[in-house]
Amino acid sequence: MSNSFTSPPLLVDPGRVSASQTIRTTEASRLGDLENYCFAQGGCSDVINQYWDQEVLRVDSSTKVQICEWYIPRPSNIHGTFKFRVIGFGSKSGGSVEADLKFVISSNTYGASTSITDTSRYGTSFEEISISIPNIENETFALLRFYVTAPSSGYVEINGIEGRWEPLTSPLSNGVLGQGSENFTPQGVNRLGADLPLSSRFGVETIENIELLRKRGRTLLAWSGCTNTQAGASGQVAPSGLGLFDPQIMFSYVALFAGMREIDLQVNIFLKVVNYVANTPFDIFGHRLTPIANGWNSFGVNLRHDELGISNEFNLSMYRVGLEDTSNNRSNLLSQDKLLISSPMYISGLSIIGV
């Protein structure tokens, strides 16, 4: 039995699975192929993208320092390679970048590093780091951290980063495959063709697989403030926290599955705060969220917003996801009255993960 799949898959003809039609073995085979493909390659688009303008994010520390961190989703327990790409250069040779993934519940951390080869902006290549994760981790979220080491008496300038999970290749492994604490059953597509006995559990497993895949996490918005940086040549400094005017730009328009309210699918919001002050809320994605400690705070929320008018243009359910432009946020975010030098409480990281 082979749990193979094609890329892109051949889709089931919806006209052949209605009550008035005989279900051909072609539809069963294509459906099994599609299930395997979705498990292997779904959720492997970018989970993090962040960019900085020229001379904004520079690091001059010759010892390794952490610059940014984000919460990201993991597609499944067997997606074992994370690709992290860096756009940057060093003022001289000897600089390097490193990234690691920490699974918070197990406390296990896996990382990799590479040298910075370019000596000018967009010189020759982007640097790529491959982080290998063993199958023993069954957490659906991980903390991604980014580090920089500058050359002695020099600096490294970062212009952008991008990260994604590497898709699985055909065929999938035999036996059930984990996604968090739940299981996906691969379909042996060469057992779904003509003149072969169709397993009585094929329909049940298909429904279970679809329900499982609908829960797979997808980054809706991710942002990290920067630490341990120097001022650029023009005096610019990479932002450390979110400020008064960020609600006007710190959001994204995203498509969310229809029926999220009916099947109780949640959005996970991870909020990192510095200089914690009790009972200080922030308005994010239609919810007023109150952190309870320094560092990362997590919230599981339901969908409250109504669809946007642009849904008709995309033929999808479109929503605005991010910081809200409210009087509460205008009061609690960084501003002229709440400068970093005065050590106020502020947001230094925000990750919103939906389905």
pLDDT band for position 258 (50/70/90)?
A: low
User: Region 289-304: what's the mean pLDDT?
Assistant: 95
Please enumerate in sequence order all residues whose Cβ is within 8 A of that of 182, keeping only pairs 6 or more positions apart, or say none.
212, 215
Residue 189: the pLDDT is 78
Q: Which of 69-78, 100-109, 115-124, 313-322 is predicted with the least confidence, judged by mean pLDDT?
A: 115-124
Residue 194 has pLDDT above 70, yes or no: no
For the chain, the average pLDDT equals 91
Residue 123: the pLDDT is 73
Residue 107 has pLDDT above 90, yes or no: yes
Residue 148 has pLDDT above 90, yes or no: yes
> Nearest 5 degrees, angle CA 110-CA 40-CA 5?
145
Backbone angles phi, psi at 83, to 5 degrees: -100, 120
User: Helices marked H in the chain — which ranges?
Assistant: 25-41, 202-213, 260-263, 311-314, 327-332
- Residue at 28: amino acid letter: A
Residue 78 has pLDDT above 70, yes or no: yes
Residue 37: the pLDDT is 96
* pTM, to two decimals: 0.93
Residue 1 has pLDDT above 70, yes or no: no
User: Region 293-309: what's the mean pLDDT?
Assistant: 92
User: Region 69-98: what's the mean pLDDT?
Assistant: 96
Closest Cα to residue 240, out of 256, 224, 263? 224
Residue 15 has pLDDT above 80, yes or no: no
User: Region 144-161: what's the mean pLDDT?
Assistant: 96
SS3 314: helix
Residue 24: the pLDDT is 74
- More confident call, 78 vs 262: 78
Residue 181 has pLDDT above 90, yes or no: yes
Percent of the chain with pLDDT over 90: 68
For 51, 53, 67, 273, the CA distances from 238, given in Å and listed in that order, are: 10, 9, 10, 17
Strand partners, 338: 335
Residue 272: the pLDDT is 98
Instruction: Copy the structure tokens of residue 83.
Output: 């690709």
pLDDT band for position 22 (50/70/90)?
A: confident
pLDDT band for position 248 (50/70/90)?
A: very high
| 335 secondary structure, DSSP code | B
Residue 242: the pLDDT is 97
Residue 247: the pLDDT is 94
Over residues 204-247, the pLDDT tens digits come to 899 999 999 998 999 999 999 999 998 776 777 889 999 999 99
User: Region 14-19: what's the mean pLDDT?
Assistant: 72
- More confident call, 314 vs 195: 314
Residue 152: the pLDDT is 93
Residue 262: the pLDDT is 67
Give CATH for domain 48-165. Answer: 2.60.120
Domain range list for the chain:
14-42+174-199, 48-165, 240-354
Residue 304 has pLDDT above 90, yes or no: no
Residue 157 has pLDDT above 80, yes or no: yes
Residue 125 has pLDDT above 70, yes or no: yes
